[in-house]
């Protein structure tokens, strides 16, 4: 009996630690950074979270880096196209209503910089974000998460919370909706490659259309 009780304690303790770790990484850190750090420190914070996320993922039992190298030849391009179309139409509508002067501004005024974003965003932003917010989220913390749609909703919520530092409801809505699309591709379609491709296309379109102004530290206005 004592041995059985001891085994149960050993099983509960890791779950409790995972819950604390999850809360610290996905909830406390983004809120603290948004409240305490200056706007120009946001990229440094995101980089630090990415590095820490990679370390945690590397320490996750059963995870192998080769796992995320699979499936790149089986990207669901139809799903990626749907995400891109929704982003283009919805994003352009938001730009026309909220900041019409920024529509395609980078393409018109800084085409070289826009080209650099198109090339680099998928590798330097979409890929690491998908590792941290999809692979780490579901692989390391899966046993303490709800199931089905609730897990996808929670994932989208923490993805949006990670962008709190921009203090903009448009960013919050965009990242929440995008989080649902990317999580659905990763979890239900079981395709990390599709999640990365959809994120890359959506992100590039956001900057191309002109919504990138909301992801610029100089545009941040804190409510306090």
Question: What does the chain come to in residues?
Answer: 224
Looking at residue 2, its pLDDT comes to 39
Concatenated DSSP letters for 99-162? -GGGTTHHHHH-HHHHHHHHHHHIIIIIHHHHIIIIIIHHHHHGGGS--THHHHHHHHHHHHHT
For the beta carbon of residue 136, count every other beta carbon within 10 angstroms.
24
The whole domain housing 135 covers 2-219
Which portions of the chain are predicted below pLDDT 50?
1-12
pTM of the predicted structure, to 2 decimals = 0.90
Q: pLDDT, tens digit, for every residue of 133-158?
A: 999 999 999 999 999 899 999 999 99
Has residue 224 been placed in a domain? no
Looking at residue 178, its pLDDT comes to 97
Exposed, middle or buried by CB within 10 Å (0-12, 13-18, 19+), for 80? buried
CB 128 within 8 Å of CB 221: no
Exposed, middle or buried by CB within 10 Å (0-12, 13-18, 19+), for 130? buried
As a whole number of Å, the CA-based R_g of the chain is 19
How far apart CA 175 and CA 45 sit, in angstroms, is: 18
How far apart CA 180 and CA 155 sit, in angstroms, is: 7
Looking at residue 13, its pLDDT comes to 56
Has residue 62 been placed in a domain? yes
Looking at residue 47, its pLDDT comes to 84
CB 194 within 8 Å of CB 79: yes
The structural domain count of the chain equals 1
How far apart CA 68 and CA 193 sit, in angstroms, is: 8
Has residue 85 been placed in a domain? yes
Looking at residue 218, its pLDDT comes to 77
The CA distances from residue 91 to 62, 172, 178, in Å, are 39, 13, 12
How far apart CA 151 and CA 180 sit, in angstroms, is: 10
Q: Both tokens of residue 77?
A: 């391009």
Looking at residue 188, its pLDDT comes to 81
């Amino acid at each position: 009996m004592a041995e059985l009780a001891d085994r149960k304690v050993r099983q509960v303790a890791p779950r409790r630690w995972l819950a604390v770790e999850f809360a610290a990484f996905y909830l406390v850190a983004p809120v603290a950074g948004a409240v305490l750090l200056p706007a120009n420190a946001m990229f440094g914070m995101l980089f630090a979270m990415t590095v820490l996320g990679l370390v945690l993922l590397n320490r996750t039992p059963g995870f192998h880096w080769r796992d995320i190298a699979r499936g790149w030849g089986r990207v669901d391009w139809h799903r990626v196209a749907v995400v891109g179309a929704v982003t283009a139409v919805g994003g352009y509508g938001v730009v026309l209503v909220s900041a019409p002067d920024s529509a395609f501004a980078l393409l018109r005024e800084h085409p070289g910089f826009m080209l650099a974003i198109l090339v680099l965003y998928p590798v330097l932003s979409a890929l690491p974000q998908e590792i941290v917010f999809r692979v780490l989220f579901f692989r390391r913390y899966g046993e303490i998460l709800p199931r089905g749609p609730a897990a996808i909703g929670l994932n989208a919520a923490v993805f949006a919370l990670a962008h709190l530092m921009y203090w903009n409801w448009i960013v919050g809505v965009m990242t929440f909706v995008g989080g649902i699309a990317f999580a659905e591709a990763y979890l239900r379609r079981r395709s990390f490659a599709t999640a990365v491709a959809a994120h890359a296309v959506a992100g590039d379109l956001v900057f191309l259309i002109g919504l990138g102004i909301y992801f610029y530290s100089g545009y941040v206005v804190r409510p306090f």
